[in-house]
């Protein structure tokens, strides 16, 4: 699912279950790799939500994205923060579990 500055808030608030919000850019080699790898990794999420950082400066600013790719966990409209982990199954599952132990916040 592709999200933009215009629709991200409403869609993330309405989507049930866990979503992995991923900021990428077409000029970033690591981002291109992440776009290929993430859909193949069996994660405990309902969906991947992609944001093109080059075209959605509002979301980049609100989520305080400083490096790409940047991953955030959103579940049932609640924000559980950034995931700082390598893009591997075990590392992401561990990071997601730790994120869900934190208090939920409102979307930025």
Q: Which of 59, 71, 66, 75 has the alpha carbon at shortest distance from 17?
A: 75
Rounded to two decimals, the pTM is: 0.96
**What's the CATH architecture for 2-78?**
3-Layer(aba) Sandwich (3.40)
Judged by DSSP in three states, 2 sits in strand
In terms of Cβ atoms closer than 10 Å to its own Cβ (0-12, 13-18, 19+), residue 106 is: exposed
pLDDT of residue 53: 98
pLDDT of residue 20: 98
Mean pLDDT by groups of 10 residues along the chain of 108 residues:
97 97 96 97 97 98 97 97 97 98 95
């Amino acid at each position: 699912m592709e999200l933009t500055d215009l629709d991200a808030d409403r869609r993330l608030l309405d989507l049930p279950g866990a979503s992995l919000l991923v900021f990428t850019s077409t000029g970033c080699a690591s981002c291109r790799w992440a776009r290929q790898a993430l859909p193949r990794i069996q994660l405990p999420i309902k969906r991947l939500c992609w944001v093109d950082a080059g075209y959605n400066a509002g979301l980049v600013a609100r989520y305080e994205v400083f490096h790409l790719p940047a991953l955030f966990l959103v579940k049932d409209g609640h924000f559980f923060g950034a995931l700082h982990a390598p893009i591997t199954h075990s590392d992401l599952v561990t990071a997601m579990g730790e994120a869900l132990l934190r208090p939920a916040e409102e979307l930025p």
